[in-house]
Amino acid sequence: MDQLIFSVKGQSFTVQSPSVGNFIDLWKMRSILSSGNYGNIYRFGMAIADEALLMIDIESFFTVFCPLFIKSLKSGSIRELGLEDYNELKEVYNSQILPWLESIEKLMVHKKDDK
């Protein structure tokens, strides 16, 4: 799998090809940030709950795959971002990072043909 290069506010960051450990850590981080309630939040089925999950996903991704990005933030924390900065980061995540993650997940999760 190719590395990912993404840009935020004119600064580029590189994420190396992921390992099995990265994906284990990503899901562990989702659990930690949601206090073990990731699935419960998902089941709410409300738009704001979906946004909370996205916030958890974004922080989990950067914590595991690109801690240098977090260090580059003035506050040093995604949780401290203002809503305007968060919305900009969300756009980067949805347009540049999520497609990369989804392409990797497709390689890892194979559905059997119903033949």
- Indicate if the pLDDT at residue 53 is higher than 60: yes
Residue whose pair of structure tokens reads 């971002």 in the numeric block: 81
The whole-angstrom separation of Cα 66 and Cα 104 is: 16
- Indicate if the pLDDT at residue 57 is higher than 90: yes
Domain ranges for the chain, please list them: 4-108
Q: What angle do CA 99, 105, 110 make, to 5 degrees?
A: 130
Nearest Cα to Cα of residue 53 among 69, 71, 33: 33
**2-25 pLDDT per residue, tens:** 899 999 988 999 999 899 999 999
Higher pLDDT, 115 or 84: 84
| DSSP β-ladder status, 4-8 and 11-15 | antiparallel
Using left for φ > 0, alpha for ψ between -120 and 50, and beta otherwise, residue 10 falls in left
Q: Give whole-number Cα distances, 49 to 4, 16, 25, 39, 95, in Å.
A: 28, 31, 22, 11, 21
First to last CA, the chain: 29
**59-104 pLDDT per residue, tens:** 999 999 999 999 999 888 999 999 999 999 999 999 999 999 999 8
